Structure 1
Amino acid sequence: MKLYKVFSKIVLLCLVLSITLTNVSAKDEWVKIRSKNFQLVGNAAEKDIRRVAARLEQFRETFRQIFTRVNFSSPVPTNVIVFKNEKSFRDFKPVGDDGKPTDWVAGYFLGGEDVNYIALSTEGEKSYTYRTIFHEYVHYLVDNDIGRSNVPPWFNEGLAEYYEMFEIENDQKVTLGALNQNHLLLLQQNKLIPFETFFNVDNYSLQRQGHNSAGLFYAQAWALMHYLMQGNDGARSQQLNKFTVLVLNGKTPKEAFTEAFQTDYATIERELKKYVEQRNFRINIATFKEKLSFDGEMQSAPVTESEAKAVLGDLLYHADRFTEAAALLEEALKLDADSSLANVSLGLVKMRQKKFEEAKKYLEKAVKLDDKNYLAHYQYAYVLSREGMTEYGFASGYEVGQTQKMRESLKKAIALNPNFAESYNLYAFISYVRNEDIDEAIGYLAKAIKLAPGNQWYLIRVAELY
């Protein structure tokens, strides 16, 4: 996740506060669009929502064709909320330390264990709207397939910075490696971070850097990635691929760097300094044989006021804004008491508020309303597993009856959606706490790791079981 800084990047610093949210009025015409890989809902015009869906699908497809070895079958669904204007979007933007919405944010990506959210406004469609989303989506793909801790921050951030500049014309002509003029100017006005320091920055220290230091780090990561991919007509691009393979095979980043690039940090530092000072830069422009058109695969349907409130409430729940989420979800249930999503989300809010009896009632109702909803079954088991936990997430044990309910719910969730990795993980966690059926638990975790090989928590869980 990128740092909260002026280069159109955000960290979701969401506080629980009570404000008056924009009313989801029945006058707004909400619609949902299902594309090949995304579920979109919004009060924007249907043609605008379709355009957003097409842009996201085009980016994903381009990325898929470039990285043929990356697993793009995400175990977590991605929902997109498309607002028609800034006014309707404002109350659902991330909030800053002052509790106010960050008005300059035109779009953002919010990752989650059960669902990812993308939120944006089509009003004006500022140039950086998609850049932030593309950046975070690249992080999500890297995290899911490789694992953030397996690659150094300069690589992870550089890759995301590089591909966020993605552009496409006429659904067919793709530009990769477009210049980030802000980054280039910053590097030309400042000295490079010494590579011995630059390459030793880890995820923890990056998050603790000040605004100026972080800005320079991101700029340098972008420039290095651009140089390795495009510099000298792409002379080092194959070495970059080798570096990635070596890291994934267990080499330390420094060992992999030396072996892949056949040189030392000082040499690459000199090459990069010369690169950012030049006037002309190479970019890749590719034209696909056929247009990347996804409109024919999209399906649309109207959305009720209750559904709209439920979706927005769920977004706020995932942003840790529980008080506001509860208000919207309760309004949704007043309009439609049988809303499965509203019952699930409100149950999760109650869980976060330590009101477990209320939480279970909402989840039990959600399951009863929609027995085919795998997330309802999973979340019911999740709430049961959290009851009695310490604030640090430790569970001393589960009673037999409680265990049976959780396992039954998780087996139903797995049967309904065998590609949702968290169901396997939670099942294994229950076995770990009870210290029983360990072989079965390890088998479940193997399935979870196959779905999300980059998830470090699954590997840790395996180690705990052995």
Structure 2
Amino acid sequence: MRIPRGLLAFGLLATLSATAFSSEPQWVEVRSPNFSVVTDAGEKRGRDVALHFEQMRSVFGTLMTKANVNLSVPLQIVAFRNTKEMRQFAPLWKGKPTEVAGLFQGGQDRSFIMLDMSIDNPWSVVFHEYAHQLMNGNLEVRTDPWFEEGFAEYFASIEVDNKEARIGKIPDVTYQVLQQSGMMRVADLFRVQQYSKTYNESGDHRNTFYAESSLVVHYLYDNLLLPKLAVYFDLYLNQKKAVEQATQQAFGMSPEQFDKVLRNYLSSGRFKYYPIPTPPAVVPAQFTVTAMPLADAKAVLADIHLHSPDYQEKALAELQEVLLMQPGNAAALRGMGYLYLQRQDLDHAAEYFRQASEHDSKDPRVHYYNALLLNRGSDIAGTDRMAAMKKECEAAIALDPNLADAYALLGFAQVSSREPEKGLEAMKKAVELSPRNEGYQFNLANSYMMNRNMDEAAKIFRELARSNNPEIAARANSELAQAEGYQLAAEGAPEAGSQLAGPSDAQSARASNQGVSVEENGPAPAPVPSSAPVHFVKGKVLAVDCSASPKAVLSILAAGRTRKMYVENSARVIVIGADRFSCDWKNVGVAVNYRDRSDGGGDVVSVELQ
């Protein structure tokens, strides 16, 4: 009997489709109390990965007193079954994937850890980077590179299995590097900074730096000297003492003596090595395991590419492929929205986020992105827009109480809505979750100023003035001058008044340039937020008049007419999309939040370059 040609073709297509589907990896998601692991290496390996991270999280809480073991940026772990899959996500060097066993990929809104489960030990690299993220959530200031990297190496050397974590073993490679290349002088090690060649250039010197930094941290833990670190960094970073003096006062020995004891510690080959049992609450058998539809797995992988500068176009193609497979895939819709948001295409971003919300209303990132879009541009006007922003931020926080960005944006919306006290509390929470984020710290200091607390504002600005980021340091110095000017004015001291009024004094000149003034009958009041509603306009900057610096006037062409937008202080105004306010802007697109003035212009609240 002849088989009809059409039926034969259909049967061949069905066979090919089944074959293609069967060749696709089977993905599962393993959820432990604190982690999500997506893997195609099987349920057992997925449970092992989740367990190891639960153990390391617990160990960090043991190593750092009063530690916050939650991350302010959501973390997704992906465990690949083989090296071939892993290479598709490795950073590119001269157009080719680099060789990596494990990879950490950070992002402002989401971070990823990737593991190659076909090798024996994929853990050390990712645990090193995971340690950095945990430190960012616990330490208020960035310490010197030798401690940052030494602690991360110490953390990465921890061995874990299903029963316990074993802490304190010095890896063989540390001995090998230091025995072959020799050791740096402790004074030189402690002087290395982020910009130092030793820290940044590959080679023997850098390898020695990492190995000896790790050795120093092992020594400090083994000899119960870690509490002395706070004394050392206070002397060296805050009091500006020399390395030699700070070392002597903090550790009770000179750098030369430290050299000797460190060499003896290395040559002895002895270290304290102890186990920490897996926490009783962490039971791998109780982790939830869910079979993951192929479209959902592909959306996760596309999200990784989306957060890598090497794979942007590939991410777009992958997201589009997922939406062809499943048009209502919420993760892919969110990814498309994020892609267009990064490209400043706000209309398309808003549409994709709207669809993502319809398919998954419990995604905190989508609520945060919606709030961000409302801030950057929306047809909703005035107080209604701020109310919508606050509602979206609050929804994001309810779903993810550790989402620091949502607290920061909520604080901005509350201050703009004449709620400075609430705004201050939200900014405090953002800094609590991500204490090293200097942008959050800067906004917190400004929130204190809006609440007339110049002492706390000045304290933060003094810290930021020592930032390694020159832009942050410059702005902090400018703001510090203003805060100190208000402090002097509030004290009402006669000498303070004469200094502020005297143009020959450099400090008072800076203060008066920041808008500080002293009335004859008393101190000038601290700035009070306006009660006027906030409006929004998009247009093109025709010119910027900075002749009355720090005040500035933006001439903006919007809806066929030119409008004047007034900036009270160009050093303080919130700028999005650029490092700072510029008097040279011309023919650039902007989105401006502002309050109406009686003359038809607007007082600028924030400026975003489009």
User: 2:369 matched to 1:382?
Assistant: no
Matched residue, 1:394: none
Shift of the 271–25 alpha-carbon distance from structure 1 to 2, 3 Å rule, reads farther
**How far apart are 1:161 and its partner, in Å?**
0.8
Matched residue, 1:423: 406
Matched residue, 1:244: 230
The partner residue of 1:202 within 193, 198, 201 is 193
**How far apart are 1:186 and its partner, in Å?**
2.1
What secondary structure is seen at the aligned counterpart in 2 of 1:449?
helix
1:70-81 superposed matches below 5 A:
70-81=67-78
Hey, what's the Cα distance between the residues in 1 that align with 2:187 and 2:373? 46
Hey, what's the Cα distance between the residues in 1 that align with 2:146 and 2:104? 20
Shift of the 292–94 alpha-carbon distance from structure 1 to 2, 3 Å rule, reads farther
**1:36–1:297: 8 Å Cα contact kept in structure 2?**
no
Matched residue, 1:192: 183
1:164-313 superposed matches below 5 A:
164-169=156-161, 171-172=163-164, 174-205=165-196, 209-212=200-203, 213-230=205-222, 234=223, 237=224, 239-244=225-230, 247=233, 251=238, 254=243, 257-276=247-266, 278-286=267-275, 288=277, 294-313=283-302
Unmatched tracts of structure 1, length 5 or more: 1-22, 389-397
Matched residue, 1:455: 437
Hey, what's the Cα distance between the residues in 2 that align with 1:180 and 1:24? 44
Matched residue, 2:344: 354
State which drifts further: 185-194 or 55-64.
185-194
User: 2:145 matched to 1:153?
Assistant: yes
Code of the residue aligned with 2:361 in structure 1: it is: D
**How far apart are 1:46 and its partner, in Å?**
1.0
State which drifts further: 49-58 or 110-119.
110-119
Q: What are the Cα deviations for residues 423-446 of structure 1, in whole angstroms up to 9, with x where unaligned?
A: 0112234567x5954333222111
**How far apart are 1:306 and its partner, in Å?**
1.0
**How far apart are 1:71 and its partner, in Å?**
1.0
Code of the residue aligned with 1:221 in structure 2: it is: S
Shift of the 95–382 alpha-carbon distance from structure 1 to 2, 3 Å rule, reads farther
What secondary structure is seen at the aligned counterpart in 2 of 1:199?
helix
User: 2:128 matched to 1:101?
Assistant: no
Hey, what's the Cα distance between the residues in 2 that align with 1:298 and 1:342? 26
Hey, what's the Cα distance between the residues in 2 that align with 1:272 and 1:378? 49
Shift of the 290–459 alpha-carbon distance from structure 1 to 2, 3 Å rule, reads closer
1:336-351 superposed matches below 5 A:
336-351=326-341
Hey, what's the Cα distance between the residues in 2 that align with 1:248 and 1:295? 42
Matched residue, 1:331: 321
Q: What are the Cα deviations for residues 199-244 of structure 1, in whole angstroms up to 9, with x where unaligned?
A: 12222336863112322211110121122223xxx3xx2x222323
Code of the residue aligned with 2:351 in structure 1: it is: K
Code of the residue aligned with 2:251 in structure 1: it is: F
**1:54–1:293: 8 Å Cα contact kept in structure 2?**
yes
User: 2:43 matched to 1:50?
Assistant: no
**2:193–2:199: 8 Å Cα contact kept in structure 1?**
no
What secondary structure is seen at the aligned counterpart in 1 of 2:356?
helix
What secondary structure is seen at the aligned counterpart in 1 of 2:96?
coil
**How far apart are 1:43 and its partner, in Å?**
1.2
Unmatched tracts of structure 2, length 5 or more: 1-19, 450-610
Hey, what's the Cα distance between the residues in 2 that align with 1:352 and 1:307? 22
Total equivalences in the alignment: 421
Hey, what's the Cα distance between the residues in 1 that align with 2:264 and 2:290? 54
User: 2:139 matched to 1:143?
Assistant: no
Code of the residue aligned with 1:450 in structure 2: it is: E
Hey, what's the Cα distance between the residues in 1 that align with 2:65 and 2:440? 24
State which drifts further: 246-255 or 202-211.
246-255
What secondary structure is seen at the aligned counterpart in 2 of 1:301?
strand
**How far apart are 1:121 and its partner, in Å?**
1.6
Q: What are the Cα deviations for residues 435-461 of structure 1, in whole angstroms up to 9, with x where unaligned?
A: 954333222111222333343332122
**How far apart are 1:347 and its partner, in Å?**
0.8
**How far apart are 1:280 and its partner, in Å?**
2.3
Identity, % of aligned positions: 29
Shift of the 74–209 alpha-carbon distance from structure 1 to 2, 3 Å rule, reads closer
Q: What are the Cα deviations for residues 300-348 of structure 1, in whole angstroms up to 9, with x where unaligned?
A: 1111111011101111112233211111111111111222211111111
Shift of the 369–206 alpha-carbon distance from structure 1 to 2, 3 Å rule, reads farther
Shift of the 153–106 alpha-carbon distance from structure 1 to 2, 3 Å rule, reads same
Matched residue, 1:366: 356
Q: What are the Cα deviations for residues 91-129 of structure 1, in whole angstroms up to 9, with x where unaligned?
A: 112222x121112x011122333322111121123x3x1
Hey, what's the Cα distance between the residues in 1 that align with 2:246 and 2:130? 26
Shift of the 219–348 alpha-carbon distance from structure 1 to 2, 3 Å rule, reads same
Please report the RMSD computed on the Cα atoms of aligned residues, expressed in angstroms.
2.9
User: 2:400 matched to 1:410?
Assistant: no
Matched residue, 1:124: 119
Hey, what's the Cα distance between the residues in 2 that align with 1:41 and 1:204? 37
Hey, what's the Cα distance between the residues in 1 that align with 2:68 and 2:279? 23
Q: What are the Cα deviations for residues 162-212 of structure 1, in whole angstroms up to 9, with x where unaligned?
A: 12111134513x322222222322222334333333212222336863112
Shift of the 435–152 alpha-carbon distance from structure 1 to 2, 3 Å rule, reads farther
Hey, what's the Cα distance between the residues in 2 that align with 1:46 and 1:436? 52
**1:32–1:39: 8 Å Cα contact kept in structure 2?**
yes
What secondary structure is seen at the aligned counterpart in 2 of 1:119?
strand
Code of the residue aligned with 1:356 in structure 2: it is: L
Code of the residue aligned with 1:243 in structure 2: it is: L
**2:58–2:279: 8 Å Cα contact kept in structure 1?**
no
Matched residue, 2:127: 134
Code of the residue aligned with 2:255 in structure 1: it is: Y
Code of the residue aligned with 2:250 in structure 1: it is: A
What secondary structure is seen at the aligned counterpart in 1 of 2:72?
coil
Hey, what's the Cα distance between the residues in 1 that align with 2:426 and 2:155? 34
Hey, what's the Cα distance between the residues in 2 that align with 1:330 and 1:290? 42
User: 2:420 matched to 1:438?
Assistant: yes
Hey, what's the Cα distance between the residues in 2 that align with 1:206 and 1:414? 42
**2:40–2:81: 8 Å Cα contact kept in structure 1?**
yes
**2:101–2:119: 8 Å Cα contact kept in structure 1?**
no
State which drifts further: 400-409 or 327-336.
400-409
**2:178–2:208: 8 Å Cα contact kept in structure 1?**
yes
User: 2:451 matched to 1:464?
Assistant: no
Q: Relative contact order (alpha carbons < 8 A, sep ≥ 6): 1 or 2 greater? A: 1
**2:367–2:393: 8 Å Cα contact kept in structure 1?**
yes
Code of the residue aligned with 1:158 in structure 2: it is: G
Code of the residue aligned with 2:395 in structure 1: it is: K
Q: What are the Cα deviations for residues 263-316 of structure 1, in whole angstroms up to 9, with x where unaligned?
A: 22222123223433x152223122639778531330011111110111011111
Hey, what's the Cα distance between the residues in 1 that align with 2:82 and 2:367? 35
Hey, what's the Cα distance between the residues in 2 that align with 1:38 and 1:425? 24
Hey, what's the Cα distance between the residues in 2 that align with 1:376 and 1:220? 44
